[in-house]
Structure 1
Amino acid sequence: MKKLLTALSLTVAAPTAALAQAVEPAGRPILEVVPTLKAGQFVWAPDAAAEGPGLLIVNLATQRAILFRNGVPIGASSVSTGRPGYETPTGVFTILEKQKVHHSRTYDNAPMPNMQRLTWKGIALHAGNLPGYPASHGCIRLPPKFSALLFDATRLGMTVIITSLPVAPQQSAPPDMAAAIPPAAMNLARAPFEWHPERSTKGPVSVIVSAADQRAVVLRNGVEIGSAPVRVSGEVKGGWAYALRSWDDTGQHWLKLQFSGPGGGMEVSPNEGDRFDAPWDFRHNVQTVLRPGSIIVVTPQTLQAGSSGSALTVIENEGRPR
């Protein structure tokens, strides 16, 4: 698999009123249009995939956002993220709240049209000024018209991945959680694990695998429904994520991307699933709850609160503040 779209790291030009507009794709694939977008510009082609699970990728390095639906890019935009001292966090998020009309409780009642909250601590997607570089207090600013289109195309619980690498997702072989475990890696095949799907019976599913903790946690609608010991062979460089874009008679179809670390290509081995050593029954149970739109995240970071290391958010599931 070829290296992914390093051209996304092109310098962003300064905005003008004329640039704050939609760009016609003119028959070009969305991912080819992305590097040409100037500050304030966006592209929108929802007919490329009329329905299916959504996934938004926000790239801090390139100041771009790309919306996928059913694994197909249907829109992209220039953005403005957090300036120095107010950096936008990287990681995997879900949309926690949506408000067409919203004002900041922290920054002088500032308007935040088409607000889509990613954390209860103030990080959100919303319409705002796009000067061509990171300039916000941590939020992700979008062109006003694109913010409205995006607001209508998303739903609560949809996954948003914020990455610091100039790459975009591509198709990959799945991290087959139900694959047979090679005899040399059967240390955890019958290890005990927790599984309580009744704690949350519906909603988006995310599997978080921590190489530091050697453990996986399964969340459904932000509620932990399972956990198990998991070992990942090989070096976990910065971490990566898989998104299940569809599931048909030919099998599962995934997207894969790195969201932190040194970057590089997204090449995937045909034996990707062999890297994961986990209890057999846990693998089977995970397969029963996966749906299109589910996310599997592999991170070198610990998931335990108060740990040292670089900041990385992985599905905020704390309760809403009063």
Structure 2
Amino acid sequence: MDRQQGRRYRAARVIGAAVLALALLPGAASAGPGAKVSSSVELARHAARLKAGQWVWAPRIAPQGPVLVYVDLSQQLATVYRNGVRIGVSTISTGKPGHDTPVGVFTILEKNVTHNSNLYDNAPMPYHQRLTWDGVALHAGSLPGKPDSHGCVRLPYGFAKELFGTTKRGTTVIVAGNARHPVTQDDGEVLAPTASGGVVEGDYWAPEKSPSGPVTIVMSRSDQAVAVLRNGVEIGRSHAVIPTNSDATHVLTLAAKAGGAPTWIYVGVSGHDDEDGRPLDEAVRNRVQIPPAFYAQVAPILMPGVTLLVTQSPLAPGGLGDAQPVLDGAR
């Protein structure tokens, strides 16, 4: 081998090593986790074996429809749904002890491709999507395999970029679970009227407080109450009878069905992957009772894209159950 051939051989080895290193990087857009896959089977296969910093994206599964982001603190995973169908899953890093990421229902308040922290040494936060005005956001950042942020939800860079292009201001983001203790899941309940009873004292309906925007319904087992939010603002509340045989979190979305009426379907949160995309069973629906007068007021705004969260957490400070009130972050 002459000198020129030797140089070419060494150059080829360097290039080959670099390509291999890139292919092995967590989140690399290659054949492994981080690739854009095109079927629910591929997505499920990749999502089941994600490691820190890895993600999978399958936008073609549901190319159109309302978007919901579900952040699971217990599993340190973020899942993206479009029209009720899971299109992306990513590992995340949320708040470390003393800087816990708040749980609750949020809407994306503002979006910036480039952003620097006002609190922590001007730290860069690419693809920043603000959830609260006091600093909690979704953004690209380091993923050490454990909760490590100051309260934000860190995402792999590639996933943060894809998510940024998929959401808009007002997109609903649900943060649930406990980063320090895994949670179990159980059958979810859904908003449905009962044949008896009227509006109880303390209930109200004030849609003028937020005339437009995405709608989220929160059902609290602790408070035995239902709250309706529009664009992150509470516009109504009612007493409800909600079974308390589980402390699980469950999420449903009202999805548009071709040629038919919108249908409540489950989203595949941790512990319920097998229910992902399954229509709601009427027997489960009937487990929850709310005053029919209140339901009649809510019904006109139940359009595709409405999100339902069933939680153990209270709806307001001072309630029973988990100390973190669900609606604190919805502002």
TM-score by length of 1: 0.78
Relative to structure 1, is the Cα distance of residues 45 and 251 closer, same or farther in structure 2, using a 3 angstrom cutoff? closer
Q: Match for 1:137 among 132, 150, 155?
A: 150
5 Å-filtered alignment, 1:210-249, equals 210-246=220-256, 249=260
Which residue of 2 is the match for residue 6 of structure 1?
A: none
CA contact (8 A) 1:241 1:296 kept: yes
Q: SS where residue 116 of structure 1 aligns?
A: strand
Say if 2:292 is the partner of 1:280.
yes
Q: Which has the higher contact order (CA 8 A, sep 6+)?
A: 1
Say if 2:26 is the partner of 1:19.
yes
Q: SS where residue 276 of structure 1 aligns?
A: coil
Question: Structure 2 CA distance, aligned partners of 1:146 and 1:135?
Answer: 18
Question: Structure 1 CA distance, aligned partners of 2:129 and 2:112?
Answer: 7
Relative to structure 1, is the Cα distance of residues 301 and 57 closer, same or farther in structure 2, using a 3 angstrom cutoff? closer
Relative to structure 1, is the Cα distance of residues 313 and 51 closer, same or farther in structure 2, using a 3 angstrom cutoff? farther
Question: Structure 2 CA distance, aligned partners of 1:177 and 1:277?
Answer: 6
Please report how far the alpha carbon of residue 110 of structure 1 lies from its aligned counterpart in structure 2 after TM superposition: 0.8
Which residue of 2 is the match for residue 106 of structure 1?
A: 119
Please report how far the alpha carbon of residue 30 of structure 1 lies from its aligned counterpart in structure 2 after TM superposition: 1.3
Say if 2:70 is the partner of 1:60.
no
Relative to structure 1, is the Cα distance of residues 266 and 194 closer, same or farther in structure 2, using a 3 angstrom cutoff? farther
CA contact (8 A) 2:96 2:149 kept: yes
Which residue of 2 is the match for residue 296 of structure 1?
A: 308
Moved over 6 A (4+): 165-170, 263-268
Please give the root-mean-square deviation of Cα atoms over the aligned residues, in Å: 3.3
Q: SS where residue 231 of structure 1 aligns?
A: coil
Which residue of 1 is the match for residue 173 of structure 2?
A: 160
CA contact (8 A) 2:199 2:294 kept: no
Please report how far the alpha carbon of residue 264 of structure 1 lies from its aligned counterpart in structure 2 after TM superposition: 7.9
Please report how far the alpha carbon of residue 223 of structure 1 lies from its aligned counterpart in structure 2 after TM superposition: 2.7
CA contact (8 A) 1:60 1:164 kept: yes
Relative to structure 1, is the Cα distance of residues 264 and 312 closer, same or farther in structure 2, using a 3 angstrom cutoff? farther
CA contact (8 A) 1:122 1:139 kept: yes
Say if 2:210 is the partner of 1:200.
yes
Equivalent residues, number: 294
Please report how far the alpha carbon of residue 293 of structure 1 lies from its aligned counterpart in structure 2 after TM superposition: 2.0
Please report how far the alpha carbon of residue 265 of structure 1 lies from its aligned counterpart in structure 2 after TM superposition: 8.9
Please report how far the alpha carbon of residue 40 of structure 1 lies from its aligned counterpart in structure 2 after TM superposition: 2.3
Question: Structure 2 CA distance, aligned partners of 1:300 and 1:254?
Answer: 20
Which residue of 1 is the match for residue 18 of structure 2?
A: none
5 Å-filtered alignment, 1:247-258, equals 249-256=260-267
Q: Match for 1:177 among 183, 192, 202?
A: 192
TM-score by length of 2: 0.76
Say if 2:123 is the partner of 1:123.
no
- Counting strand residues as a fraction of each chain, which structure ranks higher? 1
For residues 127-167 of structure 1, the C-alpha deviation after alignment (integer angstroms, 9 at most, x for no partner) is 11112222211211111122111111001121222233779
- Counting helix residues as a fraction of each chain, which structure ranks higher? 2
How much identity, in percent, do the aligned residues show?
40
Any stretches of 5+ residues in structure 1 without a counterpart? 1-14
Please report how far the alpha carbon of residue 214 of structure 1 lies from its aligned counterpart in structure 2 after TM superposition: 3.0
CA contact (8 A) 2:314 2:326 kept: no
